[in-house]
Amino acid sequence: MSKPAIPQGTRDYSPEVVRKRRYILDTLKGIFELYGFQPLETPAMENLTTLTGKYGEEGDRLIFKILNNGLHEIKKEADKAKLSAEWEKVLSKAYSSPLVTERALRYDLTIPFARYVVMHQNELAFPFRRYQMQPVWRADRPQKGRYREFWQCDADVVGSTSLINEAELLCIYSQAFTHLGLPVAIKINSRKLLQGLSEICGYPEKMMDITIAMDKLDKIGWSGVATELQNRGIDEAGTSLLQQAIDITGTNDEKLAAYYALMADSPSGKAGVEEIRNSLEYYASLWDGAGNTISVDVDISLARGLNYYTGVIVEVVCTNPQVKMGSIGGGGRYDDLTGLFGLKGLSGVGISFGVDRIYDIMDELRLFPQQVSVSAKVIILNFGGENELYALDVLKQCRAAGVAAEIYPDAAKFDKQMKYANKREVAYVLLPGDEERQTNSVSIKNFITGEQKKMTIADAIDLLNG
């Protein structure tokens, strides 16, 4: 028998980890509900045709495909020959034959959401505000912080072009990270402003080239970006104009005023500045920023990789200097996501939380409240015979009063039971022995102070509930 293992890039979540992850997910869920967003869950398996071609060539390669079932039950020789021919194609290129595989694992939450909206367009009340928290799977090479199964957590609004939606999503970020105790900065930009930049430097068709280069500013500095711009065919005048844009500093208002002046000849660029400005104004009306640790900063170098974004884009980074981690959230407006499935003209805007990275940071900075990882509050020791029945009665009373409690199920040796209680890290142990049973009381031991006291069951329950 080989030693049992789990697939590379996947994880078991042990009890303590489940509890900490739940703390994050429950926090987000509570905030989404407070903001009137509605929960959606889609199946882990999607039709392969729903997914292929939506994530670029690299994405297609990373989709986990499910082998069709019952292949060995196919009887006709002609059908088998057909299957084998298909198999050769599977081997020869990144080709998916519906005869071999017609289902795949969810790759993100955005495409299933778009598919759901199109399928249910006649029942839904628009604007439709939904949140979704589920695992996704990618056949990426596993490495530190990158898994083959990981959770995404998205909130989107479709069917409204109002920038109040952008502001609401910024508020959700602010409220969530404030609640979690994580100091963050939210960067904001607009694809229209990036389009404007490419127009004013004379390369309106090179918006993606320019933004991809500028997005690397943090990593490679301006000289690196300048080289990359050159390689992508931007001339010196254009590069110099971009440097001028990047060099603009000041408050958000000052930066937006300067960008607006720079965009004098670009309607798109001016529209981009306006939509950032209006989003921030709505956000200021809606978010009470007093004393919080969230800053929202206009950042013209922010690009966001996904090319379906068309308006405001945002990204969240942790500002604690101890933390070396990329973005822990991001999103933006897309004008035509459901168009992929035949429903045109429905504008949407959404954000995503990087739950795994948020978990890693919070764990590193010890930000989880201590009670999160606690399970049962008390373990009742089992001294057997009549004392065992008395212990069951005490247990019943604890639970009836809402105290999470368990009994050691076997009348094992005292040391063994105490060792178990210690390993479970409970706050208290109850010791119902002969004397306690005869006086209808319990001895209660505080596992942190080591103090032990005898008291009535009712008093013990008050203490445990306190």
* Contacting a copy of itself within 159-218 (CB under 8 A): 160-162, 164-165, 168
> How many binding residues for a copy of itself (CB under 8 A)?
112
Of 237, 264, 404, 458, the one binding a copy of itself by CB under 8 A: 404
Least Å distance, CB 78 to a copy of itself, is 13
Least Å distance, CB 407 to a copy of itself, is 6
Least Å distance, CB 134 to a copy of itself, is 10
Q: Is 34 in the site for a copy of itself (CB under 8 A)?
A: yes
Of 90, 208, 372, 427, the one binding a copy of itself by CB under 8 A: 90
Least Å distance, CB 186 to a copy of itself, is 18
Q: Is 2 in the site for a copy of itself (CB under 8 A)?
A: yes
Q: Is 85 in the site for a copy of itself (CB under 8 A)?
A: no
Of 282, 308, 309, 334, the one binding a copy of itself by CB under 8 A: 282
Least Å distance, CB 66 to a copy of itself, is 5
Which of 201-209's residues contact partners 24+ apart within 8 Å by CB, and which partners?
201/234, 201/237, 201/238, 201/239, 201/241, 201/242, 202/235, 202/237, 202/238, 203/233, 203/234, 203/238, 206/232, 206/233, 206/234, 208/307, 209/233, 209/234
Reference 390, options 435, 429, 356; nearest CA is: 435
Q: What is the 3-state secondary structure (H, E, C) of 160-180?
A: CCCCHHHHHHHHHHHHHHHHH
As beta bridge partners, residue 405 has 378
Of 24, 28, 103, 294, the one binding a copy of itself by CB under 8 A: 103
Q: Is 92 in the site for a copy of itself (CB under 8 A)?
A: yes
Least Å distance, CB 216 to a copy of itself, is 28
CA distance 198 to 287: 33
Tell me if residue 247 falls in helix, strand or coil: helix
Tell me if residue 309 falls in helix, strand or coil: coil
- Of 62 and 325, nearer to a copy of itself (C-beta) is 62
- Of 71 and 237, nearer to a copy of itself (C-beta) is 71
Residue range at the interface with a copy of itself (CB under 8 A); choices 69-77, 290-298, 360-368, 433-441: 69-77
Q: For residue 445, what are its two tokens?
A: 């031991």
Q: Is 291 in the site for a copy of itself (CB under 8 A)?
A: no
Q: Is 402 in the site for a copy of itself (CB under 8 A)?
A: yes
Of 78, 400, 448, 466, the one binding a copy of itself by CB under 8 A: 400
Helix axes 217-231, 236-247, angle to 10 degrees: 160
Of 23, 107, 137, 203, the one binding a copy of itself by CB under 8 A: 137
Least Å distance, CB 451 to a copy of itself, is 23
Q: Is 278 in the site for a copy of itself (CB under 8 A)?
A: no
- DSSP letter for 239, please: H
Residue range at the interface with a copy of itself (CB under 8 A); choices 125-133, 228-236, 298-306, 307-315: 125-133
Element (H or E) spanning 348, and its range?
A: strand 348-353
Ranges within 354-373 binding a copy of itself (CB under 8 A): none
Residue whose token pair is 């950042």? 299
Ranges within 37-66 binding a copy of itself (CB under 8 A): 38-47, 49-50, 61-62, 64-66
Provide the b/e sequence for 321-339 (b: ≥16 CB within 10 Å).
eebebebbbbbbbbbebbe
Ranges within 321-340 binding a copy of itself (CB under 8 A): none
CA distance 63 to 107: 6
Of 98, 202, 236, 399, the one binding a copy of itself by CB under 8 A: 399
Residue whose token pair is 């904001």? 188
CA distance 320 to 439: 56
Of 216, 232, 424, 454, the one binding a copy of itself by CB under 8 A: 424
Provide the b/e sequence for 79-103 (b: ≥16 CB within 10 Å).
eeeeeeebeeeeeeeeebbebbbbb
CA distance 253 to 245: 15
Q: Is 82 in the site for a copy of itself (CB under 8 A)?
A: no
Provide the Cα torsion 209, 215, 351, 190; round to 10°.
-70
- When computed from its CA atoms, the radius of gyration of the chain, rounded to whole angstroms, is 29
Residue range at the interface with a copy of itself (CB under 8 A); choices 182-190, 265-273, 283-291, 432-440: 283-291
Ranges within 248-267 binding a copy of itself (CB under 8 A): none
